[in-house]
C-alpha cells in the first residue's frame, strides 16, 4: 500500500441467484436458489491473491437460511467488512413506509449479526433505491454511512434494457418504475457528502462513483460489457474515469457484483443477464486486470475505512434530504460544514475490520 495515493473503496453487492430472478419476475426465486456455495469460495480466492479487504453488502434473507451460513461466515472470517443490503432485496424501498423500512433494515441486521458476528455500519439499497425515511432509520440505528445513490443520467436506459427481457406484469412494472433510478439522479454529486436529515441529524453518503463530469457508470458490470467490444475500449474507458477522478480529487467507491466474476458456465439460469456468455475464468482475469489498474492510481480499502477517512476531514458539503417526493431532486441548497458530525464516528471505529 502506498500512503501517497488517494483512497478508493471497493464493495460488492452480494445479490444472490434468487434476487436476480425476483427482480426479473421469474417465479423460480421463491425457493431462494443460491450460488453462494460456488461464488464465495471463488471470490475469496481472488481477493486473497490480490491481498484485498473489501465490503460485502449482504442480503438478510440469505443470512437467514442455513444453507448459506458457512459461506457468509467465511467472508467475515477472511477480514472483510459486512454491510447491510436489506432483507428482501426489493428495489422499490422508496415505496415503503418508515416503519416498513425499519423492519426491513433491522431484520437484515439481526440475521447478519447472528451469522457473521459483525454489526453492519453501512447500507446499500437494492437497485440503488432509498428514501429520506431510510436515511433516518440508518442514522437512528448507529449506521455510519449510506451507499445507495448512483449519480447518473442513464438509469432509465438501464431500466428499459432490463424491461425488454423481463417477464413482468403491468403492476410489477409499476413497482419497478424507478429501478436503477431517474434521469434527475444525474444531478446528484459524485463526491461524498452529508445528508441533512429531517430529524436534525446527519448521515454520510458515499455515492457509487460514476465518471466525473459525464456521470456515466464505470462499475465492473459496465466495464465487462465494454470488454465484449474490445479490451482496449475497457482500458481506455476505465483510465479516462480514473484520470477524471484524480483531476476532480474524487476518491472513488467502486462497485462489484457476483455476476462480474461468475460466468454462464457457473450460473446458467441467469443467461438473460448481460455478459453471461463470458466464462468465470475470463471474468476473473478481467477483474484482476481492472483491480491492478485501480491500484496504479489509488490505495484500495473497504468502505468503512473510506468513511472513517472522510470523517476526519473538515470540509464536506451538507445537502438537505428532498422533502415530499421521496426521491425528488430538490436538494439544491448546499453549504459548507466546518466540522464533521462527532456522532459515533470514533466510537464505532473499532468495528472497522482491518
Ligand atoms: Zn443488490
**25 CA distance to ligand 1 middle (Å):** 15
Whether 338 shows a pLDDT value over 50: the answer reads no
pLDDT band at 83 (very low <50, low <70, confident <90, very high): very high
**14 CA distance to ligand 1 middle (Å):** 6
**34 CA distance to ligand 1 middle (Å):** 14
pLDDT tens per residue, range 209-226: 999 888 889 899 889 988
* Separation between Cα atoms, residue 11 and residue 26, nearest integer Å: 27
pLDDT band at 351 (very low <50, low <70, confident <90, very high): very low
Cα distances (Å, whole numbers) of residue 108 to 125, 160, 236, 304: 12, 30, 39, 18
Which residues lie below 8 Å from residue 279, measured CB to CB, with a gap of 6+? 263, 264, 265
Rounded percentage of the chain residues whose pLDDT exceeds 70 = 89
pLDDT band at 196 (very low <50, low <70, confident <90, very high): very high
From the list 251, 257, 214, the residue with the least C-alpha distance to 20 is: 257
pLDDT band at 294 (very low <50, low <70, confident <90, very high): very high
Longest alpha-carbon distance in the chain: 53
**249 CA distance to ligand 1 middle (Å):** 28
pLDDT band at 121 (very low <50, low <70, confident <90, very high): very high
**89 CA distance to ligand 1 middle (Å):** 6
**336 CA distance to ligand 1 middle (Å):** 32
CB atoms within 10 A of CB 92: 18
**161 CA distance to ligand 1 middle (Å):** 17
**167 CA distance to ligand 1 middle (Å):** 19
pLDDT band at 339 (very low <50, low <70, confident <90, very high): very low
Rounding to the nearest 10 degrees, give the CA dihedral for residues 236, 224, 159, 109: -110
**15 CA distance to ligand 1 middle (Å):** 5
What is the torsional sign of CA 47, 52, 57, 58?
positive
What's the confidence (pLDDT) of residue 237? Answer: 93
Contact 177, 115 (CB under 8 A): no
45: its cell numbers: 480466492
Contact 36, 16 (CB under 8 A): yes
CB atoms within 10 A of CB 299: 17
In the predicted model, what is the mean pLDDT of residues 59-79?
98
pLDDT tens per residue, range 125-163: 999 999 999 999 999 999 999 999 998 887 777 777 767
Whether 123 shows a pLDDT value over 80: the answer reads yes
Contact 325, 185 (CB under 8 A): no
What's the confidence (pLDDT) of residue 3? Answer: 56
Whether 296 shows a pLDDT value over 60: the answer reads yes
**315 CA distance to ligand 1 middle (Å):** 31
Bigger pLDDT: 180 vs 232: 232
Whether 347 shows a pLDDT value over 90: the answer reads no
Cα distances (Å, whole numbers) of residue 80 to 58, 282, 291: 12, 24, 17
133: its cell numbers: 425515511
**299 CA distance to ligand 1 middle (Å):** 25
**208 CA distance to ligand 1 middle (Å):** 13
**335 CA distance to ligand 1 middle (Å):** 32
**155 CA distance to ligand 1 middle (Å):** 15
pLDDT band at 314 (very low <50, low <70, confident <90, very high): low
**56 CA distance to ligand 1 middle (Å):** 11
**160 CA distance to ligand 1 middle (Å):** 18
**260 CA distance to ligand 1 middle (Å):** 13
**216 CA distance to ligand 1 middle (Å):** 19
**162 CA distance to ligand 1 middle (Å):** 15
**150 CA distance to ligand 1 middle (Å):** 13
Name the DSSP letter for residue 212. Answer: T
Which residues lie below 8 Å from residue 65, measured CB to CB, with a gap of 6+? 32, 34
Please give the model's pTM, rounded to 2 decimal places: 0.85
pLDDT band at 268 (very low <50, low <70, confident <90, very high): confident
Least confident of 68-72, 289-293, 317-321, 333-337: 333-337
Bigger pLDDT: 28 vs 171: 28
What's the confidence (pLDDT) of residue 326? Answer: 45
* Separation between Cα atoms, residue 206 and residue 96, nearest integer Å: 22
What's the confidence (pLDDT) of residue 340? Answer: 38
Q: What CATH number labels 7-346?
A: 3.20.20.370
**105 CA distance to ligand 1 middle (Å):** 14
Which of 101-115, 192-206, 213-227 has maximum average pLDDT? 101-115
From the list 126, 134, 194, 125, the residue with the least C-alpha distance to 326 is: 134
What's the confidence (pLDDT) of residue 189? Answer: 86
In the predicted model, what is the mean pLDDT of residues 172-188?
75
In the predicted model, what is the mean pLDDT of residues 220-246?
92
Residue 149, judged by CB atoms within 10 A of its CB (0-12, 13-18, 19+), counts as buried
CB atoms within 10 A of CB 98: 14
**126 CA distance to ligand 1 middle (Å):** 4
Quick one: angle between helices 280-297 and 36-50, nearest 10?
40
**342 CA distance to ligand 1 middle (Å):** 30
Bigger pLDDT: 267 vs 69: 69
Structural domain spans, the chain:
7-346
Amino acid at each position: 500500500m502506498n500512503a501517497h495515493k488517494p483512497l478508493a473503496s471497493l464493495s460488492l453487492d452480494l445479490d444472490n441467484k434468487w434476487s436476480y430472478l425476483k427482480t426479473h419476475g421469474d417465479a423460480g426465486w421463491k425457493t431462494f436458489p443460491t450460488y453462494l456455495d460456488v461464488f464465495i469460495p471463488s471470490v475469496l480466492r481472488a481477493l486473497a491473491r490480490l491481498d484485498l479487504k473489501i465490503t460485502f453488502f449482504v442480503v438478510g434473507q440469505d443470512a437467514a437460511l442455513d444453507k448459506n451460513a458457512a459461506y457468509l461466515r467465511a467472508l467475515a472470517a477472511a477480514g472483510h467488512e459486512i454491510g447491510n443490503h436489506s432483507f428482501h432485496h426489493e428495489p422499490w424501498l422508496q415505496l415503503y413506509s418508515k416503519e416498513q423500512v425499519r423492519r426491513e433494515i433491522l431484520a437484515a441486521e439481526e440475521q447478519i449479526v447472528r451469522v457473521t458476528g459483525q454489526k453492519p455500519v453501512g447500507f446499500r439499497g437494492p437497485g440503488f433505491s432509498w428514501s429520506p425515511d431510510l436515511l433516518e432509520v440508518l442514522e437512528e440505528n448507529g449506521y455510519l454511512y449510506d451507499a445507495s445513490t448512483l449519480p447518473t443520467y442513464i438509469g432509465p436506459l438501464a431500466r428499459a434494457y432490463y424491461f425488454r427481457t423481463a417477464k413482468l406484469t403491468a403492476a410489477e412494472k409499476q413497482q419497478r418504475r424507478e429501478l436503477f433510478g431517474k434521469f434527475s439522479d444525474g444531478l446528484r454529486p459524485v463526491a461524498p457528502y452529508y445528508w441533512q436529515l429531517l430529524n436534525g441529524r446527519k448521515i454520510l453518503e458515499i455515492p457509487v462513483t460514476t465518471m466525473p463530469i459525464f456521470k456515466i457508470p464505470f462499475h465492473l458490470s459496465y466495464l465487462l460489457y465494454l470488454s465484449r467490444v474490445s479490451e482496449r475500449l475497457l482500458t481506455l474507458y476505465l483510465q479516462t474515469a480514473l484520470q477524471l477522478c484524480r483531476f476532480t480529487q474524487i476518491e472513488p467507491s467502486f462497485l462489484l457484483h457476483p455476476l462480474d466474476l461468475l460466468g454462464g458456465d457457473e450460473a446458467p439460469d441467469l443467461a438473460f443477464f448481460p455478459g453471461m456468455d463470458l466464462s468465470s475464468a475470463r471474468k476473473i482475469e478481467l477483474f484482476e486486470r481492472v483491480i491492478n489498474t485501480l491500484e496504479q492510481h489509488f490505495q484500495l480499502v473497504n468502505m468503512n475505512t473510506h468513511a472513517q477517512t472522510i470523517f476526519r476531514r473538515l470540509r464536506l458539503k451538507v445537502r438537505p434530504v428532498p422533502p415530499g417526493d421521496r426521491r425528488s431532486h430538490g436538494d439544491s441548497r448546499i453549504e459548507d460544514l466546518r466540522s464533521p458530525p462527532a456522532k459515533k464516528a470514533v466510537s464505532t471505529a473499532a468495528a472497522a475490520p482491518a
